[in-house]
A and B are shown apart, each in its own frame.
Chain A
Amino acid sequence: MITFINWLVEPLKYEFMMRGMIAAILVGIVCAIVGTYVVLRGMAFFGDALAHTILPGIAIGYLITGGARDTLFWWALGTAIIAALGIGAISKQAEIKEDTAIGIIFAGMFALGIALISTVRSYAVDLSHFLFGDVLGVSTQSLWLIIIFGAIVLLTIAAFYKEFLTLSFDPILAATLRLPVNLLNNLLLGLIAVTVAVSLQTVGVALMVAMLVTPAATAYLLTQRLPVMMALAAFFAGMAGVIGLYLSYYLSIASGAAIVLTATVFFMLAFLWKRMKRI
């Protein structure tokens, strides 16, 4: 028992582990709750594309500031919001199918980002941090940004809970009730964008979609009520953050990957449990 407690406490002696732990939990909760809408509205591909599309913005910030990490959040945030509204507009045009159009834009932007970053001679480490996250490198200042913007996202979702619910379940009802449908749709895209920026340091652009989708999908298997689904998703995501970081510490594996793998195991357990229950 004592050894187990020691095992738990040991990593927390390091401040960077404490900061990483808090960041992983907060980001997990925000991603999970926004992710509930991503899952229910079938926007997983949009979320994945959005995360990848912000890479050139981060790259430009990285080149301009000479590699300073703390300002990158703002570059990520700005690019994410522009990309979200841009993708939202693209999906309304009729010439090319929505997913094809998104696929073209996102791969192109992602390639542009990699090209830009690769102009720096020793780019490999920084690039891998952008792609896969570096939660143990979260500074106190970054942690504050996560807290503030995470709170903004959660408060906005609480404020427009019934509007988002109505719009997601039945867009025609939302339209006949004369809710501001376009504004609400764009607001939701904006919230996903902020979430992507907030999550950048934890899981990176390549694994982001897992944080948006996996905990929410896990919760969806276990409940038939939206508030419960949100709470469960937040719980699974927070737990994935904590367990993932311990795995990362003791097994020396990349933190972002460890968090995502833990969330994936939760999903598989929930999936199996549901299957077993049906038999």
Chain B
Amino acid sequence: MYPHISHQKDKPILDVRGVSVRYNGRVALDDINFHLHVGERVAVVGPNGAGKSTLFKVVSGVLPSNAGVVTVSGSEPTVHSCIAYIPQRSQVDWNFPVSVADVVMMGRSAKLGPFNWPRKRDWDFVNQALKTVEIGDLSNRQISQLSGGQQQRMFIARALAQEAELMLMDEPLTGLDTPAQEGLLDLLDTLREQKVTVMVATHDLEQAAKHFDRIMLLNKKIVAFGEAAVVLHSDNLLHAYGGRFRTVEGKSGLLTVDDSCCDEGEHDHIH
């Protein structure tokens, strides 16, 4: 079997202490400290290049940090197979010759163990996950035939098939139209019952305030972290976004930051 470790119930699902990351001498993350409780949902907001993707990669254990410690339920992330990293859609080869069900089944690769092929139980698991995210009828589609919202749902289903307990979503709302964004956020709300802890990188402060328990304002350092009313202060936002921010009167009276471009310029690949 591929490694899977049991969780210490008294430890936070995620504990990040003093984490710093540098790329080629450039600081990407600087002394990050926070912890999350089981079932919490957190929005991570900040300008492009703030280190959101880097933070997720360190937390999921695919990128080593230069300093600091990350623990997931009491042990380092690299021993856990319960962390799901959902990539930005632009990072995915949508012409890869696989169906939706194939992609979701990939989430079970670790649970299956070496040399085993999926059994009926695994396909049931996959189909159930697809039903949960409301795309059960698309399981045989080639992945390029999905809309943006359906693509995100497929990856959430893959995380469910993985039996993920910590889900990290890298800008899932970018490039989706408003109904698709709302549908996805509603889906995340219904997943609360599954006790999955969720971190979502996003640009949309209004949605962050509406759908998430806490908001982390990130710009290499944590500028502020807490409930929306406390975090989304113009002082904090100015600090995080600098001159690049523009305020618009939102529906709920909150500030909206218009920083919609999506190239983070910090993508790295695993070989």
Contact = CB atoms under 8 A, between A and B. Distances in A.
Interface of A: 40, 91-92, 159-163, 165-166, 168-179, 181, 185, 220, 223-226, 228-229
A77 B110 CA distance: 32
A172 B53 CA distance: 12
Contacts of B85: 172-173, 176
Contact of B106 (A40, A160, A165, A225): A165
**Interface size of B as a range:** 35 or more
A176 B62 contact: yes
Contacts of A223: 97
Interface stretch (B41-49, B111-119, B249-257, B258-266): B111-119
B62 A91 contact: no
21 contacts: A91-B271, A92-B271, A159-B115, A162-B106, A165-B98, A165-B106, A169-B103, A169-B106, A171-B271, A172-B85, A175-B61, A176-B61, A177-B81, A178-B2, A178-B4, A178-B81, A178-B110, A179-B2, A220-B97, A226-B97, A228-B97
A172 B98 CA distance: 17
A118 B271 CA distance: 38
A219 to B, nearest CB: 9
Residue with the highest number of chain B CB atoms closer than 10 Å, among A40, A162, A225 = A162
B214 to A, nearest CB: 23
B139 to A, nearest CB: 13
Given A162-B109, A169-B106, A172-B60, 14 more contacts: A159-B115, A165-B98, A165-B102, A166-B109, A171-B270, A172-B62, A172-B85, A172-B270, A175-B270, A176-B85, A177-B2, A178-B78, A181-B270, A223-B97
Interface of B: 2-4, 57, 60-62, 78-81, 83-85, 87, 92-93, 96-99, 102-103, 105-107, 109-110, 112, 114-115, 117-118, 142, 144, 158, 162, 269-271
Interface of B (DSSP majority class): loop
A170 B18 CA distance: 29
B97 A40 contact: yes
A73 B158 CA distance: 44
Contacts of B99: 224-225
A166 B106 contact: yes
B93 A169 contact: yes
A35 B64 CA distance: 32
B2 A176 contact: no
